[in-house]
Amino acid sequence: MSSSDAAVHGHGGHDEHDSNPHLAHHFDSIATQNHASRLGMWLFLGTEVLLFAGLFLGYAVYRHFYHDTFRFASHTLNLTLGTVNTIVLISSSFTVAMAFNMVKKGNNKAAAGLLVFTILCALAFLCIKGFEYQHKFAEGALPGKWFTFEEMKGMPGANMFFTVYFLTTGLHAFHVIVGMAILMWVLKKVIKGQVDASYYIPVELGGLYWHLVDLVWIFLFPLLYLI
Amino acid sequence: MSQPADSAALTPPEAPAYQKINYLNADRGVMSWLKTLDHKRIGIMYFVSVLATFLLGGIFAMIVRLELTTPEPTIIGANTYNRMFTLHGMVMVFLFMIPAIPGVFGNFFIPLMVGAKDVAFPRLNLLSLYVYWTGAAIVLFGVITGGADSGWTFYAPYSTTTPMTLFPVLLGVFILGFSSILTGLNFIVTVHTLRAPGITWMKMPLFVWGIYATSIIQVLATPVIGLTTLLVGIEKVGGFGLFDPGRGGDPVLMQHLFWFYSHPAVYIMVLPAMSVMSEIVAAFARKNIFGYKMIAYSSLGIAFVGFFAWGHHMFVSGQSSFDGGAFAVISMLVGVFTAIKVFNWVGTMYRGAIYVSAPFLYLCGFLFFTVFGGMTGIALATLSPDVHWHDTYFVVAHFHFIMVGAVIMAFLAAIHYWFPKMFGKMYHEGWGMVGAAFIVLGFNATFIPQFLLGNAGMPRRYYMYPERFTALNVASTAGSSLLAIGFIIILIYLIYALIHGEVAGPNPWHSKGYEWRTSSPPIKENFEEILEYPEPPHTYQQPGEEVEHVVI
Amino acid sequence: MADKNKQAADPSAHEHEHGAGRYVLIWAALLVFTLTTVITGRMDLGSANLPLALIIATIKATLVVLFFMHLWDSEGINRLVFGVALLFVLVLLAGVFGDLLTRMPDALPTGRHAHTLEGGDMPTTPALNPHGE
């Protein structure tokens, strides 16, 4: 049984609670707290994987049924823009990873610059996507009852390709927007010096979310544009 | 209240009979509750919320049962009837069953059981409550403005083409999913990172194991229902045609996506119930839990295998018979894990020092209903008979045996077992047993006739039925009235106990559970001092010791 | 002082030792693989197109997950979480394709009796139940 001088807070990590303002009262050490934060984020990323899984299933199912139509339809997408977008996202993943590295080294200035670049990449991605969408609207290459794409009229399952295309890229674009918001929140913390070489978990978690957005696109790109 | 000598080691010796300054009154004012980060207060707010949604779902159920008292139209029109059973299902499943035991008892007791001061992410915990309220409010709005008539399973193409406005209800369900995910995520991280020194994985209370396994399912399965509601909503509103054969789509695909979540969802409902029972059986048989490791691992087993079995809901949907056969066989596996638990609970009770009380009566009901519900589940999983039973009352009876017979029994048992810890007062045991009698007997009267009806061919979700089914339907409705009376009795004596109940003391049941090693009601910080955990929970005898009866 | 539960040193603190160079290398590799998939993707390789594209995408994803997301030197439980999530995606695919590949052909959307509507509104269900309101 503990002696009577055990503090009300009741654990030996009392010193760390005093010295580290980021340490919550219910965690015994910042190391455990960071581990918990990371685990929480990975669990959340797991949920995102399962969310997109249903759409990838939809793609797989309808590609299986309408193989030739899907192959034809993928060639009607703008490969150049798709490739540019892929390079943009991969590079943004690189810069956000670098930003995290910079914060850990105490270089908030470089980190901020890298984060700004990442956010601009996200914006570029959305603009290019918007341009592609606009083109699809003009052609009538749209889902379900909106499908009036002359070039593919009469092909079995033609509208299905664009249903899957808009659903997957639409949900992905939504996550890009959310990711941008998260990165802007992280950027604010970096600029204000609320993260630094001793406390960088927000940058780490924000970066993880952004990488997931990139991961989904890494699979979407070949499946929609190439094959 | 007499305390036997051993209980001195169970609770802090200085613990008062009733902890005057506790989590309930530590901070005052409505805002202190709405902005609380205290997992216990969040648990209480979930408690009040799920009681309200249970009442609502129960009202829909009573309307359905009253309508079915006669074969002809009785009190409502056919379209209203469709909305009543749909809303009964949706409110019960999404607003009550999924959040109830994890949200109320998981939140309140997981930190206490692992020796922590709170869950890993207290702010996310509060957020999960707000998200729950938001989703529930939107569902209720949908209920009022026309509701849904597609059945709680909202299959395409009916759900995507019905003139009923399904959209608000679907949106509400989508939002509720996030609450479920946040809760599950929080518990997983709590168990991994906040266990006190001395509480190893193999010394965790079995309730924690069950909630942990449930949380895994919540995190992995819920996103898929989120996507499904989104896709059905988009198809309904936007005409995207993903599940429309007229656009080249496959409606069975919607069912695959729906049941990929909804089958594991039933384990989200039942695993917490089973883990409550593991706690109760040891405490009320006053005997070491039989087969701790097997019970712990079987929870994980159910969580895992439950993901492979969803196609047994789709045997007659147009799914291939090959796939159906595969799902049928895999579904049987889950029965193995459940049976392991049942044998272990019975093994715990064998030669135990049984203390007959409301929780124990609910345990008895639970065991009976789990066995019958589970066995009829295996029967339904056998593909060929299911062709006869599918969409009949046989299925309805089966899942109510588990959802009401097992889960509600466990919920009520949990309320009674943990009432003295949560509120510091004891309910009147005599009335407790009266309430339990009404519930158990009322349940049998309601749902056993439904097995017979289903086997005789009465379809589910039907507004009218042939004359020859009248007697059994009347019996079922009468039984449901007994259930309703039982719930009202319980509500009354529990409210009375809150106000005028006898002071309970820190451990009225002399339980060895870790959550009893603090005051009743607990202080805001959970524990007055650091505890050590030399003994596993559910250990009532050392090797060679005799079981000991206690007077409570 | 009570002994701690799990005083794992913060793994990402080790990251400090790996400089930026690692990230540049991975980035370059990702660009090379992107180029590869673009070139091979639009070639007609018959039934090999899909597996090849998936393999390249998986390699790229693996590089991002292991190095940009630091799963390479992260705690084991994070790896388990991500791995299990991926496993269940496969379970979903397996269960559904087990159905699609073995279903009676006429019960599929491409069956004999399926006919597709061209544009226009979604069909709605006919008049509500005659015993209606």
pLDDT in tens, A175-203: 999 999 999 999 999 999 999 999 999 99
| pLDDT at residue C131 greater than cutoff 70 | no
Rounded CA-CA distance B409/A52 in Å is: 37
For residue B188, the chain A residue with the least C-alpha distance is: A40
B425 beta partners: B503
Please confirm whether the linkage preceding B157 is cis (ω < 30° from 0): yes
Could you report the per-residue pLDDT of A134-161, keeping only the tens digit for each?
999 999 999 988 999 999 888 888 999 9
Residues in chain B closer than 8 A to C118 (CB atoms): none
Residue A9 has pLDDT above 50, yes or no: no
Higher pLDDT, B266 or B13: B266
Query: Cα–chain-centroid distance for residue C54?
Result: 10
Contact at CB, B194 and A27, closer than 8 angstroms = yes
Determine, for residues C129 and B252 on separate chains, whether the beta-carbon distance falls below 8 Å: no
DSSP code per residue over C53-121: HHHHHHHHHHHIIIIIS-GGGS-HHHHHHHHHHHHHHHHHHHHHHHHHTTS-GGGSTTSTT-----SSP
- Taking contacts as CB-CB distances below 8 angstroms, the residues of chain B near C104 are 320
Contact at CB, C125 and B158, closer than 8 angstroms: yes
Q: Tokens 């993707």 correspond to what residue?
A: C41
Above 90 in pLDDT, residue A204?
yes
Looking at residue C11, what is its pLDDT?
Answer: 58
**What tens digit of pLDDT does each residue of B84-130 get?**
999 999 999 999 999 999 999 999 999 999 999 999 999 999 999 99
pLDDT at residue B6, rounded to an integer: 45
Distance from CA of A57 to the nearest CA of C (A): 6
Question: At B46, is the pLDDT very low, low, confident or very high (cuts 50, 70, 90)?
Answer: very high
ipTM of the complex in this document: 0.94
Give the pLDDT of residue C10: 57
- A138 in B contact zone (CB under 8 Å): no
Which residue among C2, C95, C108 places its CB closest to the CB of B256? C95
Q: What confidence score (pLDDT) does residue B13 get?
A: 67
Return d(Cα B274, Cα A86) in angstroms, integer.
48
Residue B509: CA count within 13 A, CB half-sphere: 39
What would the pLDDT profile of B163-207 be if each residue is shown by its tens digit? 777 889 999 999 999 999 999 999 999 999 999 999 999 999 999
What's the Cα-to-Cα distance from B286 to each of B118, B166, B363, B511, rounded to whole Å? Answer: 29, 50, 14, 8
Tokens in use for A125? 């991605």
pLDDT digits (tens, 9 = 90+) for B452-483: 999 999 999 999 999 999 999 999 999 999 99
Cα distance between residue B39 and residue B182, in whole Å: 14
Grade residue C15 by pLDDT with cuts at 50, 70 and 90.
very low
Q: What angle do CA A212, A213, A214 make, to 5 degrees?
A: 85
Strand partners, B459: B392
Instruction: List the structure tokens of B483.
Output: 């259930």
B318/C107 Cβ within 8 A: yes
Closest approach of B238 to chain A, Cα-based (Å): 8
Q: Assign C109 a pLDDT band (cuts: 50, 70, 90).
A: confident
CA distance B220 to B184: 10
CA angle at B235 for the pair B233 and B237, rounded to the nearest 5°:
65
Contact across the interface for C6 and A222, Cβ inside 8 Å: no
Q: Do B248 and A157 touch (CB under 8 A)?
A: yes
> Can you give the pLDDT at residue B9?
46
pLDDT for the residue A14? 60
Task: Name which residue leads in pLDDT, B475 or C43.
Answer: B475
pLDDT score recorded for residue B546: 86
Closest residue on chain A to C123 (Cα): A145
C23 chain-A contacts, CB cut-off 8 A = 94, 97-98, 101
Between the CA of residue B219 and those of A50, B98, B303, C88, what are the distances in Å? 9, 13, 11, 12
Q: What is the pLDDT of residues B395-422, one digit of tens each?
A: 999 999 999 999 999 999 999 999 999 9
Which whole number is the average pLDDT over A196-214? Answer: 96
Residues with Cβ within 8 Å of residue A4, at least 6 apart in sequence: none
d(CA B115, CA C123) in angstroms, rounded, equals 58
State whether residue A11 sits within 8 Å of chain B by CB: yes
What chain B residue is nearest to A51 in terms of C-alpha separation?
B223
Tokens of B365: 């009901």
**CA dist B181 to A51, B184, B293, Å?**
12, 5, 27
Query: Which of B 327-356 lie inside 8 A of C, CB atoms?
Result: 327
| Chain A residues touching residue C67 (CB < 8 angstroms) | 97
pLDDT digits (tens, 9 = 90+) for B292-308: 999 999 999 999 999 99
For chain A, positions 140-199, list CB contacts with chain C under 8 A. Answer: 144-148, 153, 156-157
State whether B323 and C99 contact (CB < 8 Å).
Answer: yes
**Which residues in chain B are contacts of C125 at CB distance < 8 A?**
158, 161-163
> Does B2 have pLDDT greater than 80?
no
| Residue A137 in contact with partner chain C when CB distance is under 8 A | no
**Mean residue pLDDT across chain B:** 94
> For chain A, how many residues are written?
227
* Residue B264 reports pLDDT greater than 90: yes
Q: Does the CB of C76 have a partner CB in chain B at under 8 Å?
A: no
What's the alpha-carbon Rg for chain B, to the nearest Å?
A: 23
Nearest to B240 by CA among A22, C121, A126, A92: C121
Average pLDDT over residues A26-49: 96
Top residue of C5, C74, C110 to mutate, by most chain B CBs within 10 Å, is: C5
Chain centre distance of CA B548: 32
Tell me if C95 and B195 make a contact (CB, 8 A cut-off): no
Amino acid at position A58, single letter: G
How far is Cα A220 from Cα A216, in angstroms, rounded to an integer? 6
Look at B464 and C98 and tell me if their CB atoms are within 8 Å.
no
Chain B positions in Cβ-Cβ contact with residue A10 (cut-off 8 Å): 525, 527, 529-530
For A55, half-sphere exposure in the C-beta direction (CA atoms, 13 angstrom radius) is: 28
Q: What proportion of chain B, given as a percentage, has pLDDT over 90?
A: 86
Average pLDDT over residues C57-67: 96
Return the amino acid letter for C51.
Answer: P
CB B536 within 8 A of CB B545: no
**Chain C interface test: which of B165, B199, B323 (most C C-beta within 10 Å):** B323
Q: Which of A10, A33, A160 lies at the smallest CB-CB distance from B248?
A: A160
8 A C-beta contact, residue B239 and residue A146 = yes
Closest-CA residue of B relative to C80 is B216
- Measured between CB atoms, does A97 come within 8 Å of chain B? no
C-alpha span between A147 and B495 (Å, rounded):
60
Q: How many CB atoms are located within 10 Å of the residue C6 CB?
A: 14
Please tell me the predicted confidence (pLDDT) of residue B218. Answer: 97
Record: contact B248-C109, CB cut-off 8 A? yes
Q: Is the Cβ pair C34, A53 closer than 8 Å?
A: no
**Are B160 and C122 a contacting pair at CB < 8 A?**
yes
State how far residue B84 is from chain A, nearest Cα, in angstroms.
30
pLDDT at B155 over 70: yes
Q: Which contacts qualify for A83-88: CB closer than 8 Å, 24 or more apart?
A: A83/A221, A83/A225, A83/C34, A83/C38, A84/A128, A85/A125, A85/A128, A85/A129, A85/A217, A85/A221, A86/A217, A86/A218, A86/A221, A86/C34, A87/C31, A87/C34, A88/A121, A88/A124, A88/A125, A88/A128
Of C6, C77, C92, the CB nearest to B260: C92
Give contacts of A 10-29 with C, CB under 8 A: 11-13, 28-29
The predicted structure's pLDDT at residue C62 = 96
Q: Give Cα B274 distance to the centre of its chain.
A: 9
Task: Read off the pLDDT of residues B320-369 as tens digits, 9 standing for 90 and up.
Answer: 999 999 999 999 999 999 999 999 999 999 999 999 999 999 999 999 99
* Rounded Cα distance, A23 and A7, in Å: 17
Q: Is the pLDDT of residue C12 over 50?
A: yes
C44 interfacial to chain B (CB closer than 8 Å) = no
Average pLDDT over residues C14-24: 72
Taking Cα atoms as reference points, which of A146, A145, A163 lies closest to residue A70? A163
Amino acid present at B440? V
- pLDDT on residue C97: 96
Sign of CA dihedral B39, B44, B50, B56: negative
Mutant choice from B179, B240, B256 vs A, greatest count of A C-beta within 10 A:
B240
Q: Are B92 and B59 in contact (CB under 8 A)?
A: no
CA distance linking residue B230 with residue B244, whole number of Å: 15
* Nearest residue of chain C to residue A31 (CA atoms): C10
The pLDDT, as a whole number, for residue B7 is 44
